Structure 1
Amino acid sequence: MDERIFPARGRRTVADAEAMRALGAELGAALRPGDLVLLDGPLGAGKTTLAQGIAAGMGVRGRVTSPTFVIAREHRPAAPGGVRLVHADLYRLLDAGGDLAGGLDALDLDTDLAGAAVVAEWGGGLAEALAEERLEVAIDRSAADGSREVTWRLVGVG
C-alpha cells in the first residue's frame, strides 16, 4: 500500500450504508497481498459494512458478515490472479478474555498476510504486530444526523 494508490491520511463523512460500502470499495481496489487493514469503532459503527465494500472492491467471493461463530473467514478471489481476503473480527478475542496474544497467534494471520489482504475489525492495540505497514481506519458514529466520520492513515509506509 502506498500513497500513489490511496492517500496516506484521509477523512470522509459517510451518510449511509451505501456510501460506507462505496468507500470500502475504493480501499479494497487498492489492496494487495500482505496488506493489513485495521478497522476500529464502536459496535454498530459500520465496520462490517465497510468490510463488505472492501470485499466488493477486491472482487472476492462470498458474503462478508460479522463473524458470529468464527473469528476469521477467508474469501477467495472471483477472478484468477486476484487477492484473497481474510476478514477477522477480533472482538471475539477481546470478549473472551485470557491470552489475547495467544489467541491472535492461533489465528495464524501473519501467515495469511503473505498471500492475502487481512481486514481486522477491532484490531487496534492487538494486531499491529502482524505488519509494520498497515492502514488504520477509525469510524466515529457520534453525529446527530446518523452519518459516520471515517478517518484513515497509513502507518509505517514511506
Structure 2
Amino acid sequence: NHTKKTVAVVDLAVAFEEQASDDAESSALARIAAHKRTKYDPIKRHLEHQGWKVHLSALVYGSLGAVASGNHKVYTEHLGLLKRDAKRLDRQLSAACIQSSRRIWNLHCSQHRARQHQARPSQGPRGSRATETGGTPSQRSRR
C-alpha cells in the first residue's frame, strides 16, 4: 500500500510433516515458518530503513494437509481477508497439498516399477497401466 507505506511479504511453503512431540512450537511447520520469516529479514530491514512498515509472514502447509496454526492470522490480519474467506482458502490449499502429494507419490511409484521392469526384461508385463499408477484396474482386466 503506497499511501500508508505498508507492505506484506508472505512466503508459502509445503513441508514434509514430522513432529516428534505434541508441542506445536516444536513442529516442523513452526520451524519452517520461523525459517521463512528469517529468510526475509534483510528485505524487511531495507524497506523499514526507507520508511515502510513491513509485515513478514509465512503460510505453511504439510504435505498431508496439516495447516500451521498461524496461517489464519496471516490471512485475516496481514492480508485483510474475511474470516470465512480465510477459512475457505485454508481448506482449499490444504486439499491441494494432499492432491499434489498423492500425484507425486503415484509418479514415484510408477517410476520405481518401471526401473524394476527394466532390471528384469525377461519377465512379461505384470499388470495393467491402471495398477502401475496406483489406480484400480477396470472390471474387464480383473478377470
TM-score normalised by length of structure 1: 0.25
Determine which structure has greater relative contact order: mean sequence separation of CA pairs < 8 Å that are 6+ residues apart, divided by chain length: 1
Q: Please state which structure has a larger fraction of its residues in strand.
A: 1
Between structure 1 and structure 2, the one with the greater Rg is 2
Q: Please state which structure has a larger fraction of its residues in helix.
A: 2
